Amino acid sequence: MIKKMIISVLVVIGMAISGMAFADEATITDQQQKVRPPRPFHNEDTTGNQQGFQPLRRPHKDNAGKLLGRYLHDNMLAEAISEMTGEAIETVMEKLKEQHPRALLEAYEIDPETFRSVMDGKTITLAEKAAGCGIITEEQAAEIVEKIQSHAAEHENSDTDM
């Protein structure tokens, strides 16, 4: 059961990373970005304090796997931006509380393709670590790696077709 949940979390993280990396920036106007508030960074207080952005509602006990996936994703996101910019990870986390990740990538002038590659590498490393400690099997880790690589290859091919 735990292995299936971890696999689900890793797949969700991969999909979230891919969705952010592959989002067509040309379809979102500046006006739309101003109207849509940034998603709150999920390392914030869950007690109902309304300082800045709305904190997460207290997660339902059945959503622990989703919460784990969100924490993993947010921490990997902040770590990747920190590594790419040299900015302290705490500073990046604070900025992610105030800005949407896409806006932060633009502010730091981070190439979306480079960012996607870094996040793919982090997801692969996470899958390998999960397999190494027995949370998932080697086959499951290999499947995750294969999906990431095939998705990257498909994206690369779609770029060359244009």
User: Could you read off the pLDDT tens digit of each residue along the chain, which spans 162 residues?
Assistant: 777 777 777 766 776 676 665 555 445 555 555 445 555 555 444 454 444 444 445 555 567 878 888 899 999 999 999 999 999 999 999 999 999 999 999 999 999 999 999 999 999 999 999 999 999 999 999 999 999 999 888 877 766 554
Question: So what's the pLDDT on residue 55?
Answer: 47
Q: Looking at the whole model, is its pTM more than 0.85?
A: no
Write out the chain in H/E/C secondary structure. Answer: CHHHHHHHHHHHHHHHHHHHHHCCHHHCCHHHHHHCCCCCCCCCCCCCCCCCCCCCCCCCHHHHHHHHHHHHHHHHHHHHHHHHHCCCHHHHHHHHHHCCHHHHHHHCCCCHHHHHHHHHHHHHHHHHHHHHCCCCCHHHHHHHHHHHHHHHHHHHHHHHHC
